Amino acid sequence: MTTPLVVIPFSVWAWRRLKADGVPIAPSDRRLNIALAAAVPLAHAIARLPRLRRQDPDGNNGPRMSG
């Protein structure tokens, strides 16, 4: 949740400030940063899928202890 709520708005704000101060920003850099901001939460969601699949019926999804 950090990316959509914090990183993207901050990045947009920072790009606007840099542009207002005369710092050239290449359009390809912006597209790359937005793509990265979208890829990170997607990677987290994909990484969580195996954990959801092996969840116990009682709701425990931590390490399984034998004994």
pLDDT at 59: 61
**Average pLDDT over every residue of 46-58:** 74
Query: Rounded to whole angstroms, how far apart are CA atoms 51 and 1?
Result: 18
- pTM, whole model, 2 decimals? 0.39
Query: Rounded to whole angstroms, how far apart are CA atoms 29 and 10?
Result: 15
Q: Determine the residue type at 27.
A: P
| Tens digit of each residue's pLDDT (9 = 90 or more) over 3-35 | 677 778 888 899 899 999 999 877 667 788 888
